[in-house]
Amino acid sequence: MALLKRYLISAAAVCPRFVFALVSVWAWAIFVSDARGQSTSEQPKAFRTLAISSEAQGIFYDLRGKPVSVTATDAGLSPSYEVPSGGRIVFYRLQPAETASEKPHRINIAEVEMNGVGPFLVFMAAKPESPGEYFVQVAEDSWATHPVETIRLFNFSRRNLVVRIVIKDVVVELAPSQDRVLPYVAGGQFWLQVATKEPEGWVMRVSAPQIAPPKARISAIMFDQAPSINRPATRELQLVKFIDVAPQPVVP
C-alpha cells in the first residue's frame, strides 16, 4: 500500500499532462440537491435511483395500488420516490400483450426491503446475459449513515479500487460492491485520485480537484465505463458525483 500511495502522488505531480488526459476520458457529473425533502419521522420514506453503466427503462413498482414508473439513468440521481408502507418493493416491467384484448404481462425483476430509517439509494445494473433483467442493490442514505462533511465512495466496478483523499492524505482500497465513508475538511478543495487494479498493476483512472462544501455531503459512485463503438474494449472508470445539502433545523 505504501508503494501504491507513492504512485498516486507521483502520477499527479510528475506528469500533469497525463493527469489532464485521464480527467478528459472519464465521464463525471455533479448534482446538488436540497436534503430537506428527504425522509423524516413526519414524512414518508423515500428513495432515489441510479443506473450503473446503462439506463434502466420501463420499470415500475406499485404504490397504494397504482403503478409508478421509475427512471434510472447513469448520468445522475432520479427524483425521490415514495416507499410503500411496510418497506417492501417489487420492481417489475410490462411485456406487451400479444393481442389487443389482453393486458400486458407483468414480469418481476427484483424485490427489495427498505426497513431502515431512510432515505435510500437504489442502484440498478442491467444483466448483460439476460436482457430486461437487473441487479438491484439498496443502500441506506440517512444522515447518520452518511454524515455531513464526509464523502461516501461506492465501488461498482468489477475491479478493486484504491482511492486517495489528498487533503486528509487517506488511502483506502475498495473491493467490488464495497462502500466507505471518509471525512473531508469543508471549504476550498481536495484532490481525489482513483486507481484500478489491472493485470499489469495499478492504473490511475481519476485525478482531479473536488470542491469541499460546508454543511453538505458528497456521494461518489464509481463503475466500469460501458463499451462503445469507438471504444469496444475500454477499461476506463466512470464517476458520478452528487452533493446533498444538510437539512435545515426545524424552527418551533
- Quick: pLDDT tens for 34-76: 444 454 445 789 999 999 877 888 899 999 999 999 989 888 8
Instruction: Yes or no: say if 26 and 237 are a contact pair by the CB < 8 Å rule.
Output: yes
Q: Find all residues with CB under 8 Å of 216, minimum gap 6, and list them.
A: 32, 148, 149, 186, 243, 244, 245, 246
Strand partners, 63: 66
Predicted TM-score (pTM) of this structure: 0.77
Strand partners, 181: 152
Strand partners, 182: 151
- 23 confidence band (pLDDT: 50, 70, 90): very low
Instruction: Yes or no: say if 92 and 58 are a contact pair by the CB < 8 Å rule.
Output: no
Q: Does residue 205 sit in helix, strand or coil?
A: strand
Distance of alpha carbon 179 from alpha carbon 182, whole angstroms: 10
Q: Is the pLDDT of residue 19 over 60?
A: no
Q: Is the pLDDT of residue 137 over 50?
A: yes
Q: Find all residues with CB under 8 Å of 203, minimum gap 6, and list them.
A: 195, 196, 235
Q: Is the pLDDT of residue 97 over 90?
A: no
Q: What is the pLDDT of residue 32?
A: 52
The C-alpha R_g of the chain, in whole angstroms, comes to 20
Distance of alpha carbon 162 from alpha carbon 175, whole angstroms: 9
Distance of alpha carbon 230 from alpha carbon 82, whole angstroms: 39
pLDDT tens-digit map of 187-246: 888 889 999 999 988 999 999 898 999 999 999 999 888 777 888 888 888 898 999 999
Q: Which domains does the chain have, with CATH numbers?
A: 2-32+143-245 (2.60.40.1430), 39-140 (no CATH)
